Amino acid sequence: MHHSLKVTAAVTVAGLAIAACGSSSNSSSSSGSSSSKSGTSTTASSSSGTKSLALIQGTKADDFYVSMGCGAQAEAAKLGYKMNVQGPADFSAPDQIPIVNAVTAQKPGAVLIAPTDTKALITPMQQMKSAGIKVVQVDTSVSDPTIAVSSITSNNELGGEKAADTLAQLIGDKGSVVVMNEQPGVSTTDARVNGFVKQMKAAHPGIKVLKTQYVGDSPTKAAQTISSLLAANPDLSGVFATNVLLAEGVDTGLANAHKAGQLKIVGFDADPQQITDLKKGVVQALIAQEPYQEGVDGVQQAVAALTGKPVKKSIQTPLVSITKATIGQMGQYIYKAHC
């Protein structure tokens, strides 16, 4: 968030009034279904006594994680648990680690977490596990598979494959393409890039894939980079942008170079701004996840771990490709700015 590293306008999540933001699951190994009305601190008893849960988002400034929080809080209330949702302002390990440490000190029964780095979060998450807290990874993960009792994510490599096939179709299976990404070392976006590159090489040999460009979350840098790439690669025909800011930066760079509309852009995620961009033609397609269901599944697996029931080690939620023509059919995949 995935995203995923996906950064949009800041949204405060810690006092959300929850309404059912319904979603359907198509996960390969999910157990059970979802949703009901909830609040940030609904309390009830379970067979193990009163329990509290926490969700540590990758960033609270992202509608992907807002939607995940909606699902997690609704399911926690439905199952009789108190849920605390919080996250850093930015998707970064230095900002997230103090939150992880503070939540560990509070000793909830289980924690859902979207780690912001595959390595930097290992030690604080190990400390969480050592404190007797059940750890469930949502969206992203660390490289140590022994910490979490369950990991719930989209099939991000498949998402990259869908982006490759969609972009190839948009550009007529010829020319050069490039991936605009934020930073290496994030499990979700790394998988998307891998899936994209592999699929392009395997299924679209007439398309040249340029070196992935890492431009942070800077639309300005994305604009500058696309201008330079266009000058060096006259046959550049398409861009896979892994978040909304990069897609908008590419669009700005094209406009500045007086080449608006020359490239086709496939983005990732479907928050309200990205849907607006799709309708306006800033991007031609979006690969969307189902974060609400990730929150639901995360709570279900956390509660299963706390109550001694079978836990699914891995759950993958679905992805879809959305175009302007199919927006009306994809409501469950469009992210929520609030619950």
Q: Tell me the pLDDT of the chain (339 aa) as tens digits.
A: 544 444 333 333 333 333 333 333 333 333 333 333 333 333 333 333 358 999 999 999 888 999 999 999 999 999 999 999 999 998 899 999 999 999 999 999 999 999 999 999 999 999 999 999 999 999 999 999 999 999 999 998 999 999 999 999 999 999 999 999 988 888 888 999 999 999 999 999 999 999 999 998 788 899 999 999 999 999 999 999 988 788 888 888 888 888 878 899 999 999 888 898 899 888 999 999 999 999 999 999 999 999 999 999 999 998 999 999 999 889 889 998 899
Let me know if residue 147 belongs to a domain: no
Question: CA distances (Å), 273 to each of 17, 90, 221, 247, 269, in order?
Answer: 22, 18, 20, 11, 10
Nearest partner of 283 among 321, 331, 233, judged by Cα? 321
**Domain housing 202:** 156-288
Q: In this structure, are residues 254 and 99 in contact, taking their beta carbons and an 8 Å threshold?
A: no
d(CA 264, CA 308) in angstroms, rounded, equals 50
Let me know if residue 170 belongs to a domain: yes
Let me know if residue 281 belongs to a domain: yes
Let me know if residue 40 belongs to a domain: no
Nearest partner of 318 among 159, 200, 194, judged by Cα? 159
For 265, phi then psi, to 5°, come to -125, 125
pLDDT on residue 43: 36
pLDDT on residue 9: 36
- Strands (DSSP E) along the chain, which ranges? 45-46, 49-50, 52-56, 82-86, 110-113, 134-138, 150-154, 175-181, 207-209, 213-214, 236-241, 264-268, 285-288, 314-317, 320-322
Let me know if residue 251 belongs to a domain: yes
pLDDT on residue 1: 55
Let me know if residue 75 belongs to a domain: no
Q: In this structure, are residues 47 and 11 in contact, taking their beta carbons and an 8 Å threshold?
A: no
Find tokens 């995940």 and name the residue.
Answer: 68
**What CATH number does residue 171 fall under?**
3.40.50.2300
Let me know if residue 200 belongs to a domain: yes
In the chain, how many domains are there? 1
Let me know if residue 180 belongs to a domain: yes
